[in-house]
Amino acid sequence: MNLIIPLPLLADADPYQVGEKAFELGVIFRHGIRVPRSLCITKDAYEMYVRSTGLMERISLELGRKDFRDMRWEELWDASLRIRGMFLNTAMPSALVKNIRDPIEGLFGNRPVDVRSSALGEDYTSASFAGLHESYLNIKGIYSILDHIRLVWASLWSDAALLHCKELELDVHHGTMAVIVQGHIAGRESGLIFAKDPAYGGQAVIEAFYSLDERFADGMGEQERWVIDRATGTVISHEGAVQGKACAPSVSEDPLGDLRPGLNKVPSLSGEEVREIYRLALKVEAIFGSPKDVEWTFDGTDLYTLQSLPISASSGKAFGDSRDSHLGMGRGFENIKQLKVRIEDELIPEMMKEAASLSHTDLTALSDDELAGEILERTATYQAWERAYGKYFLPFAHGMRLFGRVYNDTLRPHDPYEFMDLLRSADMLCIERNARLEHLAEQVRQSPALANALRDGRETSGFPLFDNELTCFMNTFGDLSCSGALCGREGDVVRGVILKLALKPMAVEQPRTLSMEDLEEYYLSFFPEERKCFARDLLHLARASCRLRDGDSIYLGRFKGHLATALDEGRRRLSGRLPKIRDADIPKVLKGAAFMPSQEPEFTDDIWENRFTLRARQLVGQPAGSGIANGPARVILHEKDLIDFNTGEIIVCDALEASMTFIIPLASGIVERSGALLIHGAVIAREYGLPCVTGVPEAMSLIKSGEQVTVDGYLGIVIIHDQ
Amino acid sequence: MDFNLREVTVAGPRQLTLQMKDLFTSQGLAVVSTQEHGQPYCNLVAFASTDDLKHLIFATNRATRKFANIDEDPRLSMLIDNRSNRVSDFHEAVAVNAVGLAEEILGPEKDALLKVYLAKHPHLEGFVMSPTCALMRVRVDRYFVVSRFQHVLVLDMKE
């Protein structure tokens, strides 16, 4: 077992032990190119760590909850967070520390280092995984270095890397990794040279940051760009940095700082320096026999090579895969802040305005042809907003994720979801709505006469306080408590829910041991003074992100509701002729009576279907809300299932939609076919302290309404009891 | 309006039974559990299954405890699994627990079921053909299919 290999010996090492990146660094060094002092922690060290600590088995269990091919990205993110938590909370065994500590200290002393990933294995080459694994810069002190080696190891299981494995159908259970520890150079200018531009093969491209540090991996900061003609070696064009941002020499999540005034108007590299970088790229190309992308930095006038990468691995352009979008999962603080402004200042007001304009149309006054047009228009509007939702709103959820990651990396909590406690009650719209419902229910509890009136379906005008507040509620939330067929009689539905809430036994409130202020203070106490401001800003951003996870789907629900109302009007008109018709066929039939809807395919006879009855006994999902609950299942297939929902039942649904959340106060547990821990359902479940299991693929097909089920929110399993 | 159900592919009886048949083909031995006055008792047996999965077949000496137990109480459970005793078992191993009633095969069906059994275990011909050996059949009522550590589906045999 060879745990550490110094730079001078890396060229002789097995690339499958040190990784392609470390091996190539060794080769470059042997050819006399200036490289910072470096050493490699081999894959043997990683394997010793995960084997001796039992992490390998725990990772295997975590990723074996369901078929890896069936895991959605939200589930991969959850799994990745839990795995990262395992690495954060599992110390290196002392035998390993003993072996690697002295060589690291001996080589670097107290000087800062960069800790870089060097992935290996046939399918795990740096070409494929460039940017998906992590590197940490400017790390000081042996304990911090050892800590960051673990973080680089953990990045083998990052959500982006897992998604990439899934896409390439790699065996996710057999990943391994080497690490390069390299002396940190606070370069005057740093950057990459793409020796051969994948788009224009005859050109090389130099990208440079005005920086004290290099931050290409995150694509942050504005770079300067030189395009060089490979045939002549002359500069074809130069574009300068314009935004005036530089990379700061820290490891913070917000490393962008303002440039000194005027600096961005001056090219950061002289003509000779540009040529020197280009000559370096040619030399590296000659060594390996093919062009490479080379990361470089200038320390004063000395040019250093930090690493060489397979061509365009760093740009991701040559792969034709979705690695770019996987990289996008690691959205930075600045990027999320910009999204917040766009969503809050532009998109939501636009959505509200457009939704309001739709509600003014009197559908009953339209001709069949006009109604068909209205349905198609509303479908297009809904689909357009659904696309915008995917493009802007969903990525904004990374605000919560970034916060969770920073929280966990800094505080190292035992529970990787502890950070959610700081995001509780972040002014969520559905919580506010349900609190108003509870307030109305309390009035019913106090007045048996009012309860009787509601039970008998009588008018409540004799109870003016209740009636006024109900009207006010309806004006504010009416269209939020339903999204379709119920809208016409939403008053009845809301009254029914209020009555059920009033009759529900009152839960005893568990006092919180720590107030929100205490939690905030505790969180901030882990950050040094100079980072407290960033920590506060990040918490603020995460709360906005959490709030929007609730509100955005409610806003989107309005469009869905308007579409549903139009479809219901169409269905009503056609009910005499076509009692059963698919949504998509309604406008077609309304437009031309001759159109005959296609028939649903008949169930095909199957010998095995006839021989066996399949049912579930225990289904595995993801634990998304701790606790255990027992009760009859209520499978939510239609809106009617919401009306029929009884106190104490378990919600079983495809995904908890905003239009369903008014039944949450009545429920004792939640099971979702999709969902994930930071998705709407789990966020609300946590808010109400309900056991919740998400990501159960068979939930809607194998659980039937009325079946007695147990939701184990600790283990993420659902048990269906014999009837 | 119905709540959107996205594309969902969940294994039905067909897929599950195909997986079970693969498992039964790949495994030669199973654990049989009988009971004696309420005390569970387990044995390893060489097993085979009929193509329709209605029956599981194994052979035993008539002088064995399990034969006596079955004679006393034919209720039986048989576990067939593909564990490798490695960590990967937690996400890769599949275990099928069959429950039903066991009986010795004596009638005209014996030739056909013996053929099925010996096709899988030809080396046991001498053992099975011994006059002291009984060819046993389990009429399966129910299969419990366990995968990924905790995922449990139930297949009930229809009459």
| ipTM metric | 0.85
Note whether A518 and A567 are same-domain residues.
yes
Cβ neighbours of residue A119 closer than 8 Å, sequence gap 6 or more:
A19, A20, A21, A125, A126, A129, A133, A156, A175, A177, A178
Which residues is B58 bridged to in the sheet?
A: B47, B136
For residue B149, list chain A residues with Cβ-Cβ distance below 8 A.
Answer: 61, 64, 620
Instruction: Tell me: do A621 and A680 sit in the same domain.
Output: yes
Contact A63 B151 (CB under 8 A): no
- The type of residue at A522 is Y
Measure the CA dihedral B100/B104/B109/B111, to 10°. 130
Classify residue A614: in a domain, yes or no.
Answer: yes
Q: Which residues contact A608 (CB under 8 A, 6 or more apart)?
A: B12, B13, B14, B17
Residue A357 lies in a domain: yes
Secondary structure element (H or E) that encloses residue A335, with its range: helix A333-342
- Tally of domains within chain A: 4
Does a structural domain hold residue A26? yes
Q: Mean pLDDT: which of A63-72, A114-123, A191-200, A525-534 is highest?
A: A525-534
Could you tell me which of A646, A648, A652 has the C-alpha nearest to residue A692? A652
Confidence at residue A603, expressed as pLDDT on a 0 to 100 scale: 45
| Shared-domain flag, residues A163 and A22 | yes
Q: Are A421 and A516 in contact (CB under 8 A)?
A: no
Which residue segment(s) compose the domain that A102 sits in? 4-182
| Per-residue H/E/C for A501-566 | HHHCCCCCCCCCCCCHHHHHHHHHCCCCHHHHHHHHHHHHHHHHHHHHHHHHHHHHHHHHHHHHHH
Cα A453 to Cα A461: distance, rounded to the nearest angstrom: 10
Interchain proximity B90–A615, CB inside 8 Å: no
At A121, the pLDDT band (50, 70, 90 cuts) reads low
Size of interface A-B (CB pairs under 8 A): 111
Question: A431-435, B38-42, B89-93: which has the minimum mean pLDDT?
Answer: A431-435
Domain co-membership, A418 together with A538:
yes
Contact B149 A620 (CB under 8 A): yes
Q: Which of B5, B84, B85, B91 to mutate to test the interface with A (most CBs of A within 10 A)?
A: B91
Is the pLDDT at A154 greater than 90, yes or no? yes
Same domain (yes/no): A361, A438: yes
A363-367, A593-597, A683-687: which is most confident: A363-367
By Cβ distance, the residue of B2, B87, B152 closest to A618 is B152
pLDDT tens-digit series, residues A253-302: 444 444 445 545 567 788 899 999 999 999 999 999 988 889 999 988 89
Q: Return d(Cα A308, Cα A284) in angstroms, integer.
A: 8
**A24 and A100 both lie in a single domain:** yes
Same domain (yes/no): A132, A221: no
Angle between helices A429-446 and A490-503 (to 10 degrees): 70
Rounded percentage of chain A residues whose pLDDT exceeds 70: 83
Cα-trace Rg, chain A: 30
User: Average model confidence (pLDDT) for chain A?
Assistant: 81
Q: What is the mean pLDDT of residues A139-164?
A: 91
CATH code, domain with A618: 3.50.30.10
Residues A458 and A594 in one domain: yes
* The pLDDT value given to residue A435: 83
Domain segments of chain B as ranges: 17-156
CB contact under 8 A, B3 and A653: yes
What average pLDDT score do residues A15-37 get?
Answer: 93
**Domain end point (choices A579, A600, A621):** A600
| Core vs surface per residue B121-137: b (16+ CB within 10 A) or e | beeeeeebeeeebbbbb
Is there a single domain that holds both residue A31 and residue A63?
yes
d(CA A507, CA A649): 15
In a domain, A327, yes or no: no
In this predicted model, which residue has the larger pLDDT, A198 or A236? A236
In CATH, what number does B17-156 get?
2.30.110.10
The two three-digit tokens of residue A46, written as one number: 């990683």
Which domain-ending residue is among A322, A340, A365? A322
With a pLDDT cut of 90, the percent of chain A lying above it is: 31
Domain shared by A430 and A483, yes or no: yes
List, in sequence order, the alpha helices (H) in A592-679.
607-611, 639-643
Co-location of A396 and A530 in the same domain: yes
One domain for residues A172 and A304: no
* Span A96-109, pLDDT tens digits: 999 999 999 999 99
Using the beta-carbon criterion (under 8 Å), do B1 and A673 form an inter-chain contact? no
Strands (E), A195-301: 203-210, 223-229, 235-239, 245-247, 256-258, 292-299
For the cut 60, the answer to whether the pLDDT of residue A327 exceeds it is no
